[in-house]
Structure 1
Amino acid sequence: MVRARTVDERAQAAALARYHLFDGPPEPNLQTVVELAAQLCQVPISVLFVLDAERQYQVAAVGIDTAECRREDSMCSVALVAPHPMFVEDASADPRFVNNPFVTGELQRFRFYGSSQLRAPDGFVLGTLCVFDEAPRVLDEAQRQGLDRLARIAIDVLELRRHGFMVADLLREQQRTAAALEGANQTLRQFAAELAHDLRSPLTGVLSYAAELQLLPAVNADPDASWCTDRISAAAQRMGTLIDDVLRQATTAETGQAVHLDLADVVRQVLDDLAVPIADAHAEITVGAMPTVIGDVTQWRILLQNLIGNAVKYRDPRRPCRIDVTARTGPDHVRVCVADNGIGVPVEERDRITAPFTRLDPGDGLGHGIGLSTCARIVHTHAGWLEMSDTPGGGLTVCVVLPRR
């Protein structure tokens, strides 16, 4: 008996496993292929075989019940390594098959054998589409070409099957990911609730102390002291509102109410909240004309507070800190930019720093790496995007680009 082996039998077996022919439902379209092959070649027997390192398996067949056999006994093990489709008029006269059990009568008494390889897109030959007859036979050229086309159709059917299983695997993975994400979201919601509770306690104290100070005659008599207590009270009230809004968005599926808002008011509130670090940095901040946009007030405050706060935080110590907040309204988009003359960000790092917990210098002690990722997420929820570029003369310019509607 002829034993023809390929050098890539293990790889071929791995390629064969991707089609799930033995751990999934039968493929009815393959049965149609073998029926067409029998009709085309006018033979009583047509089979689609696949082979691994040890055995030959029948996937679809007409006129025969043999489900599998040893690879050593398979006629297709020879065709598997042949350079072209194989057509044998009389196998009993062919030295490659004269002692084969499918020819001698031990298993069958085949005389005519024709086959075309099932070659996958990655190059592996998975098996063959075969036709048999118990009498010698010659196929004409149209029949031979037709059998080869049917073999290619069988591969297309197998590829569709493989992709179907891939889609099913992806859906299962998506379901697992969704379940894991829901668990993580639940943890984050609980953390947000606990954090909000922890923040409210000192905030309540600040509001209480500020209210008591405002009642003191000495404070009321001093314009500067009265101005300071008013600022403390206003800042604490804004912080309380911010905590409530963030908690609402973290513990529900809501993303906030989209309203018309004046960005000039939002920028003023942000600059007021950042008054201390701005003063410490001796930062000169100019604000241009701001448009009215549609969006969530809380998210816009967080967005601009992060961008302006980063511009202050990452200033260049070798020169005075200057920050320009500008806006430009086009026919389709609104562009709001924060330009600084700070230390800047290398071009190759700009995509990376929008990932959560990413910091260019973990040892600088200036942040936790969540500011820009938060900005990117907020802009995404508003159907926009972030653009980063060099500020002329040095520094970084970050622009929020949003559709007008």
Structure 2
Amino acid sequence: MKPADLPKNEDERLSALKEYKILDTLPEEEYDAITKIASGICNTPIALISLVDKERQWFKSNHGLAAKQTHRELAFCAHSILQPDDLFIVNDATKDDRFHDNPLTTGNPNVIFYAGAPLNTSEGHAIGTLCVIDNKPKKLTKTQQEALKLLAKQTVSLLELRKRNQELNKVNDKVTKLNEQLNNFAYRLTHDLKSPVSGVNFLVEVLKEDYKSLFEKTGAEEYISLISGRMSYMSTLIDEILEYTKVNTEHIVYEDFNLKTLLDSIIKNIDFEDKIFLYSNNLDINIRSSKIGFVQVFQNLISNSRKFCDEDKVKLEVEFSKDETHYYFIYKDNGPGIKEEYWKKVFNMFETLENTNNENTGIGLATVQSIIKRLGGIVYTKNRDDLKKGASFHFSVAINEMNE
């Protein structure tokens, strides 16, 4: 028996193998499917995805073989990786000086025929093979050889995809942690600002009441009103940032609630002028989702409709439907609507429209989008299907089967 020499790039090859983080992982259907196909095409009882480690060959997939690994000195695959540009074929190991007395040939699993297609990484490192084995002499046709090579390339594609997914998961973890840190910072900052802003608001109101005649005489009333308006905006901005940070950090709680009851309650709490009217008749139904999430979504939408409506009455329509996976909503109002050029921008933080007043912070719809994304849905705006004046928001929310 003649053990294989080490490849000239052995250190780099082993480093490349470790980057895939696949050694000693559990079986996976995608890899098992490849060995099963290879076995069928080549008409052999055994097919393996073998990865050549420092002192062993380990089988990611072992069709027709119980063993999970063997010592590298015995491995046919250790010879195969020495010629990474072609198949390594042993038609009859009993007549080959390198293998005739190999324990894998003389004993179980009785490797007589072997054909290995190298698994070459994009950097050119042969980290293992896709091999087929028979316990009797054999020859592969050109078609079978070509198929084995193609299946080996497919195996490498799976490994590369696995590697990219791992890298993406690392990046996503970093981004998630950074977002959490940013949200926590924003929460602490706005929470700390809330108290002094409230204090300034209170002092401005005191000045307006106690020194009204003085401000009127000196012409300073306009400036005091301007300060009051700016502080009111600041207070609203702080409250909405706090709401946005909570949306992205708080745990989602699912519960049963009635859509009509929820919407009626929101309208009652914000409609101080008795000008909001809901024209929908199919909402008296119970659903199971995040009640607080739905409150925040519809509260933001309805508040915007009330704030920017240029009609005497705010007329709202809410349509509801569902399928096996999602709830679907269409929200319409009779306000000025949204120009198509702003359909995507309105969901960006601090994005405001050219026809809005100074009360708009540009956070409300960003909050709506964030909530809906966390609930497994999407939101977008478009023209009303009935071609009437007003905005039209379409959004979905995933049905949580564990909670439905």
Q: Normalising TM by the smaller chain, what interval? A: 0.5 to 0.7
Structure 2 contact 23–58 (Cα < 8 Å) conserved: no
Structure 2 contact 51–59 (Cα < 8 Å) conserved: yes
Superposed displacement of residue 169, structure 1: 5.0
Q: Which residue of 1 aligns with 2:29?
A: 28
Which structure has the bigger radius of gyration?
Answer: 1
Shift of the 113–174 alpha-carbon distance from structure 1 to 2, 3 Å rule, reads same
- Report whether the alignment pairs 1:39 with 2:40: yes
Structure 2 contact 20–159 (Cα < 8 Å) conserved: yes
Q: Which residue of 2 aligns with 1:84?
A: 86
Residues in 1 aligned to 2:27 and 2:45: alpha-carbon distance in whole angstroms: 22
Residues in 1 aligned to 2:170 and 2:69: alpha-carbon distance in whole angstroms: 29
Shift of the 69–377 alpha-carbon distance from structure 1 to 2, 3 Å rule, reads same
Residues in 2 aligned to 1:23 and 1:163: alpha-carbon distance in whole angstroms: 19
1:298-329 deviation digits (Å, cap 9, x = unpaired): xxxxxxxxxxxxxxxxxxxxxxxxxxxxxxxx
Structure 1 contact 119–125 (Cα < 8 Å) conserved: yes
Q: Which residue of 2 aligns with 1:146?
A: 147
Superposed displacement of residue 75, structure 1: 1.4
Shift of the 23–47 alpha-carbon distance from structure 1 to 2, 3 Å rule, reads closer
Residues in 2 aligned to 1:214 and 1:146: alpha-carbon distance in whole angstroms: 90
Superposed displacement of residue 85, structure 1: 0.8
Any idea what SS the aligned residue of 1:378 has?
coil
Q: Which residue of 1 aligns with 2:242?
A: 251
Structure 2 contact 197–231 (Cα < 8 Å) conserved: no
Superposed displacement of residue 168, structure 1: 5.2
Q: Which residue of 1 aligns with 2:223?
A: 232
Any idea what SS the aligned residue of 2:304 has?
coil
Pick from 91, 95, 99 the counterpart of residue 93 of structure 1. Answer: 95
Query: Which residue type is aligned with residue 222 of structure 2?
Result: R
- Report whether the alignment pairs 1:52 with 2:24: no
Query: Which residue type is aligned with residue 112 of structure 1?
Result: F
After superposition, residues 182-201 of structure 1 pair within 5 angstroms as 182-200=183-201
Q: Which residue of 1 aligns with 2:402?
A: none
TM-score normalized by structure 2? 0.55
Q: How many residues align?
A: 270
After superposition, residues 248-397 of structure 1 pair within 5 angstroms as 248-253=239-244, 257=304, 260=308, 377-379=349-351
Shift of the 251–17 alpha-carbon distance from structure 1 to 2, 3 Å rule, reads same
Identity %: 19
Unaligned runs of 5+ in 2: 245-295, 311-335, 343-347, 355-381, 384-390, 392-404
Structure 2 contact 201–232 (Cα < 8 Å) conserved: no
Superposed displacement of residue 142, structure 1: 1.6
Residues in 2 aligned to 1:162 and 1:6: alpha-carbon distance in whole angstroms: 23
Query: Which residue type is aligned with residue 350 of structure 2?
Result: I
Query: What is the RMSD of the two structures over their aligned residues, measured on CA atoms?
Result: 3.8
Residues in 2 aligned to 1:191 and 1:10: alpha-carbon distance in whole angstroms: 55
Structure 2 contact 204–224 (Cα < 8 Å) conserved: no
Residues in 2 aligned to 1:62 and 1:239: alpha-carbon distance in whole angstroms: 72
Query: Which residue type is aligned with residue 120 of structure 2?
Result: R
Structure 2 contact 47–64 (Cα < 8 Å) conserved: yes
Structure 1 contact 76–128 (Cα < 8 Å) conserved: yes
Superposed displacement of residue 257, structure 1: 2.8
Shift of the 377–59 alpha-carbon distance from structure 1 to 2, 3 Å rule, reads closer
TM-score normalized by structure 1? 0.55
Residues in 1 aligned to 2:308 and 2:9: alpha-carbon distance in whole angstroms: 66
Structure 1 contact 210–232 (Cα < 8 Å) conserved: no
